[in-house]
Structure 1
Amino acid sequence: MINKISSLKVVLICLVLSFLSLNLHAQSHSYIDKNKDMANELSIKYGIPSSVILAVAFVESGAGTSKNAKILKNHFGIVGKNTVNRSRYRSFKSVRASYEAFCKLLSRKKYYARLKGKKNFSEWVHAIAEAGYTTVPKEWIRRVTFVNKKFNLSRLD
């Protein structure tokens, strides 16, 4: 009887985890679908690949589920003043404003002139990391690259 109960618990746990995994996968695709047109527009305007914009936003905002993304509409972990709370992260009026601020931020970096208009995802991500965008460059590059590959974001470039 105990073995049957234990087996049932294992099966139930597996089902719950599978459901959560499917839900997260669907939520992830939803985030990309919701923001890909905006990323494409900004890509054309700033010469930054859509794949880079979306992959960084996805990682930094937890696919739009992070506290900063929900409350501050900050999808990139951009530091600065905010009007919402006492956070070190900047607040934005809209998600689009956050995306635009990220592109403007990159456009002021030394590497921007060299990479503008290039579609090489890896070059962009390494340049962003090396310029100090993240405090853990290797891990950040790994995560952003994983998202790009998992969702085939380079197809958007």
Structure 2
Amino acid sequence: MKNFNIRSLMIFILFFSLKISAQNSYINQYKTIATELSQEFGIPTVVILSIAYMETGGGTSSACKVLNNHFGMTGRNNVNSSRFKNFTDSKASYRAFCEWVSKRKFYEKLKGSQDHNDWFVAIASSGYSTKPVEWKQKLNLVMKKIGL
């Protein structure tokens, strides 16, 4: 019985470690891109990464893997029949998102602000999300979960 408990605990720790590693892997892989675009557009890195992480399930969604689409942006694609737009690479997806944000009415007011809650509310309310309140709550949970 004791050996069973120890094995169970070891499996749990291994699973948990792998999950944290996968989360950190996505963040580490795209943090440089998000930081560069944050400096260019005045959108906090944490906002860019949190939204990308949530929209892709940490890089596991088919839109991310097949279409390089990290933000669930809709539009034409020449890869498959999905409603999601395809991008030549991940950086193009990140840039398209920042450009989309920069064209919204709230952008000039928030540009340069580091208050992620204000950004989440503004982005959600601008039509990015069909359920703004739930979307913002999920983003705050994602931020805490992945340590942003």
- In the superposition, the TM-score normalised over structure 2's length comes to 0.90
Question: Residue 100 in 1 paired to residue 95 in 2?
Answer: yes
Question: Residue 30 in 1 paired to residue 25 in 2?
Answer: yes
- Whole-Å separation in 2 of the counterparts to 1:62 and 1:48: 21
Once the two structures are aligned, what percentage of the paired residues are identical?
Answer: 40
- Whole-Å separation in 1 of the counterparts to 2:109 and 2:51: 20
**Aligned amino acid, residue 105 of structure 2:** K
- Larger Rg computed on CA atoms: 1
Question: Residue 116 in 1 paired to residue 91 in 2?
Answer: no
| Number of aligned positions between the proteins | 147
Distance change >3 Å, CA 113–CA 21, structure 1 → 2: same
- Whole-Å separation in 1 of the counterparts to 2:134 and 2:15: 25
Structure 2 unaligned regions, length at least 5: none
Structure 1 range deviating more: 95-104 or 13-22: 13-22
- Whole-Å separation in 2 of the counterparts to 1:95 and 1:143: 23
- In the superposition, the TM-score normalised over structure 1's length comes to 0.85
Aligned to 1:141: 136
What is the RMSD of the two structures over their aligned residues, measured on CA atoms? 1.8
- Whole-Å separation in 1 of the counterparts to 2:8 and 2:135: 31
After superposition, give the CA deviation of every residue in 1:85-140 in whole Å (9 maximum; x if it has no partner): 00000000100000000000101111001111111110000101111211122221
Higher relative contact order (CA 8 A, sep 6+): 1
Q: Secondary structure at the match of 2:127?
A: coil
- Whole-Å separation in 2 of the counterparts to 1:11 and 1:139: 39
Question: Residue 20 in 1 paired to residue 3 in 2?
Answer: no
